[in-house]
Structure 1
Amino acid sequence: MSDLEISLEEGESGGRYFYREGDNLAEMTFSSAGHSLMIIDHTGVPDVFRGRGIGLALVSRAVEDARAAGKKIVPLCPFAAAQFRRHPEWADVLNR
């Protein structure tokens, strides 16, 4: 969906997707609930990145990875929840 280089750091209990440009960092953090559920709890995009679709790229990458791993997503973060409402094609990974 995007040509931005979104990186992933992951541990046993969760992790983050992030995009870095110079000293600026945008990130989306998540917690893991078992092996099949990802809970997106925060998305932070600095003002310098606003309007460039970086927040959407972070959530999109999580959706792609969840699909590939057979996981479901709980979008607790208001930004992520709004993106799920805007993208009904992501319904297959939305935990209802």
Structure 2
Amino acid sequence: MPDIQIQHHEQQGRFDTRVDGQLCVLDYQLRDGTMIIQHTGVPPAVGGRGIAAELTPAALDTARQRGWRVRPVCSYAVAYLARHPEYQDLAA
């Protein structure tokens, strides 16, 4: 996957990027210092390229920088955290 440009829209609780014109997102809510990852969405037209695997660490790295805990609700984010022990310290 070539470098993609991920934007963080904190007011909207969203990380996003466009790939081949398709909007790919990771949505979250921030509650009491905890980032609740609710949804990752990659359209089928650009699926299978590792885009969610770029969005998720962008969100987790931001949480770490801001001192937030993380509670994944989205099944993709749950699986990502389980596979990446370097982020286990963020788990709420």
- What is the TM-score with the length of structure 2 in the denominator? 0.90
Residue 58 of structure 1, aligned match among 55, 71, 81: 55
C-alpha RMSD of matched pairs (Å): 1.5
Residue identity in the other structure for 2:22:
N
Residue identity in the other structure for 2:74:
C
What aligned pairs does 1:70-85 form with structure 2 within 5 A after superposition?
70-85=67-82
Q: State the 4+ residue runs in structure 1 displaced beyond 4 angstroms.
A: none
What is the match of residue 16 of structure 1? Answer: 14
Identity %: 36
Q: Deviations over 1:30-56 (max 9, x none)?
A: 00102x110000111011222211101
Number of equivalent positions: 91
Q: Deviations over 1:36-91 (max 9, x none)?
A: 11000011101122221110111100111011111111000001101001111111
